[in-house]
């Protein structure tokens, strides 16, 4: 079903969507008055709705029924990564949304490439939520430098000399993935002092985007089937 995003918690009644969603609903989804649609708010709620009015800069829907969905198992996971070069980060964000991670943190490392704009990444995440059928939107933030970035919960860092990942029970976990040139000795020491555990996924060197998606999938699969 055609899906719209509400930036505020969904409640029954008439809901006014912003100009961006109005444009998307009018020009991409081609919604018109009387059409049925689905609305999600990124906080685990979805609703069936009927379009009341489609304006140039606004869209009104009548919310009929609201459902609350459980958090995905991977919502405990924060992916803290250096930004890859080019537009590869766009695909990483889309994939991490599909896998259900709870937070995406872009780290400014000493060897990082140019930092992205958080507003762009948030828009990409919203589109991914609507496309993949999820109801949970991860928080997205940019922190720098790594030496001052908050790393919540258990901290893991991907490293060529790391051991086999120990996933354990679902719990707050931060996975750190450094830049293409690797972490500096100061950054590595900071992570060690923070209690980070080094791990590796394969014996080969992975690109940032490959490592981020593979690590998130590894944790998500293990936690999804944990009992």
Spans of all domains in the chain:
3-68, 73-224
Residue 227 has pLDDT above 80, yes or no: no
Residue whose structure tokens are 């919604």:
31
CA-wise closest residue to 82 among 114, 125, 119, 120: 114
Residue 110 has pLDDT above 90, yes or no: no
pLDDT digits (tens, 9 = 90+) for 40-88: 999 999 999 999 999 888 899 999 989 999 999 899 999 999 999 888 9
Q: Does domain 3-68 have CATH number 3.60.20.10?
A: no
CA-wise closest residue to 18 among 9, 27, 8: 8
Q: Is 162 exposed, middle or buried (0-12, 13-18, 19+ CB in 10 A)?
A: middle
pLDDT at 111: 87
pTM of the model: 0.92
If one compares 194 and 153, the residue with the highest pLDDT of the two is 153
State the Cα–Cα distance between residues 31 and 186, nearest whole angstrom. 54
Using CA atoms, how far residue 49 sits from 5, 33, 131, in Å, is 12, 11, 17
CATH superfamily of 73-224: SPOUT methyltransferase, trefoil knot domain (3.40.1280.10)
pLDDT at 79: 96
Residue 196 has pLDDT above 70, yes or no: yes
pLDDT at 168: 86
Residue 113 has pLDDT above 80, yes or no: no
Residue 224 has pLDDT above 70, yes or no: yes
pLDDT digits (tens, 9 = 90+) for 121-177: 999 999 999 999 999 999 999 987 888 888 889 999 998 888 998 888 899 999 999
pLDDT at 220: 93
State the Cα–Cα distance between residues 126 and 140, nearest whole angstrom. 11
79 has which bridge partners? 104, 175
CA-wise closest residue to 82 among 158, 152, 137: 158
Strand 45-54 and strand 36-40: pairing?
Answer: antiparallel
pLDDT at 146: 87
């Amino acid at each position: 079903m055609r899906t719209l995003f509400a930036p505020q918690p969904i409640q029954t009644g008439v809901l006014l969507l912003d100009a961006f969603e109005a444009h998307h609903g009018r020009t991409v989804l081609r919604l018109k008055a009387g059409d049925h649609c689905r609305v999600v708010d990124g906080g685990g709620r979805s609703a069936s709705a009927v379009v009341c009015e489609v304006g140039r800069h606004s869209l009104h829907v009548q919310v009929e029924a609201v459902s609350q969905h459980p958090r995905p198992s991977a919502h405990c996971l924060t992916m803290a990564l250096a930004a890859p070069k080019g537009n590869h980060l766009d695909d990483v964000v889309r994939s991490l949304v599909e896998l259900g991670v709870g937070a995406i943190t872009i780290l400014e490392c000493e060897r990082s490439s140019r930092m992205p704009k958080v507003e762009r990444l948030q828009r990409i995440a919203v589109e991914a939520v609507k496309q993949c059928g999820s109801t949970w939107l991860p928080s997205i933030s940019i922190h720098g430098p790594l030496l001052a970035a908050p790393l919540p919960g258990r901290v893991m860092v991907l490293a060529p000399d790391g051991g086999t990942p120990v996933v354990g029970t679902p719990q707050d976990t931060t996975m750190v993935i450094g830049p293409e040139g690797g972490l500096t000795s100061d950054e590595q020491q900071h992570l060690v002092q923070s209690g980070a555990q080094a791990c590796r996924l394969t014996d080969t060197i992975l690109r940032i985007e490959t490592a981020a998606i593979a690590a998130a999938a590894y944790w998500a699969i293990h936690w999804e089937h944990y009992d």
